[in-house]
């Protein structure tokens, strides 16, 4: 069924199955397999109150894969489900029902589905405890990592933060994301405490008389580069004895994964991430800052 430029998922899946039968001439058992995979996917979407195709993005797909894994499906089974859903969205793209495929960046290795790389809660804890906060640089680095994991920011957003963007009374950060889209993202008490300590005790010492509007900075008050923060993060990963390859995106994935595994509302997680294809979708505009803060504090490992 068509509503303006919005399509309902139930109708689209039936149209897709009809297409496989009539146009592709697939065998009955193959159609049945596709149908079962699509029904399971639709049940996941329904549980998360998603019934329109334009509401599905890459974050939704990753959350669904995590859900399949939590229900005991092997990597091989997850790969089969992913192939079924990929075919469905490829069909929607070809029919110009959607303008972007949410599975575009989701790979299917020969060994099965590879979920986004993330750290366990314990690994994150060890990593975030690695900096020496008794030194200005260590305090800065600690605050950067806490804010990134606490808010799920992109590294480009983190290094562009200005002092005025952080509200330590409400533990909320204002972020200018992709396409100059502004959003407000909560962070927990751990991030708030170390950031406040950085601003009060470490920032002026590291500036050494210089001036800069940036919350975090490199030598001389200049903005830190994305590569500069990545090197800092990698160094602390080694110091903490973690064998995983840690990148800034690893913390972003960890943020989303830990919230979803904890039971957070998928819509809230998507909003906090600032995913470009939902930031312009009106259905999300009713999510208030207070509600996001509540969801963050309830489900983020370091939220309170």
Positions annotated as catalytic residues are 154, 178, 249, 252, 275, 284
Cβ atoms 187, 151 nearer than 8 A: yes
Residue of 232, 243, 239, 269 whose CA lies nearest to 254? 269
Largest Cα separation within the chain, whole Å, is 74
CA distances from 73 to 36, 67, 113, 118, 140 (A): 14, 9, 11, 19, 42
Q: Who contacts 29 (Cβ-Cβ below 8 Å, separation ≥6)?
A: none
Beta carbons within 8 Å of 187's beta carbon, 6+ residues apart: 146, 147, 150, 151, 171, 172, 173, 296
**Residues counted in the chain:** 304
Orientation angle between helical segments 28-47 and 58-70, nearest 10 degrees: 100
């Amino acid at each position: 069924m068509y509503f303006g430029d919005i399509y309902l998922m139930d109708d689209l899946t039936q149209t897709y199955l009809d297409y496989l039968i009539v146009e592709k001439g697939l065998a009955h058992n193959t159609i049945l397999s596709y149908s079962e995979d699509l029904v399971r996917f639709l049940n996941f979407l329904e549980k998360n109150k998603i019934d329109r195709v334009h509401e599905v993005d890459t974050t939704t797909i990753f959350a669904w894969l995590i859900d399949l894994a939590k229900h005991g499906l092997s990597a091989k089974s997850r790969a089969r489900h992913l192939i079924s859903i990929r075919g469905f969205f490829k069909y929607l793209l070809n029919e110009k029902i959607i303008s972007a495929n949410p599975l575009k960046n989701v790979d299917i290795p020969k060994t099965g589905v590879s979920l986004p790389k993330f750290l366990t809660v314990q690994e994150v804890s060890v990593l975030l405890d690695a900096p020496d906060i008794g030194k200005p640089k260590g305090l800065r680095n600690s605050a950067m990592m806490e804010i990134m994991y606490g808010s799920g920011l992109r590294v480009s957003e983190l290094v562009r933060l200005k002092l005025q963007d952080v509200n330590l009374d409400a533990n909320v950060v204002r972020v200018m994301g992709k396409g100059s889209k502004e959003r407000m993202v909560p962070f927990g008490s751990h991030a708030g405490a170390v950031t406040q300590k950085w601003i009060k005790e470490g920032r002026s010492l590291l500036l050494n008389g210089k001036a800069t509007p940036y919350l975090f900075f490199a030598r001389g008050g200049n903005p830190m580069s994305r590569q500069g923060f990545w090197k800092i993060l990698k160094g602390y990963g080694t110091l903490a004895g973690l064998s995983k390859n840690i990148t800034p995106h690893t913390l972003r994935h960890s943020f989303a994964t830990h919230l979803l595994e904890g039971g957070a509302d998928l819509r809230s997680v998507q909003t906090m991430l600032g995913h470009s294809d939902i930031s312009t979708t009106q259905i999300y505009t009713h999510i208030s800052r207070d509600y996001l803060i509540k969801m963050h504090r309830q489900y983020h490992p370091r939220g309170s």
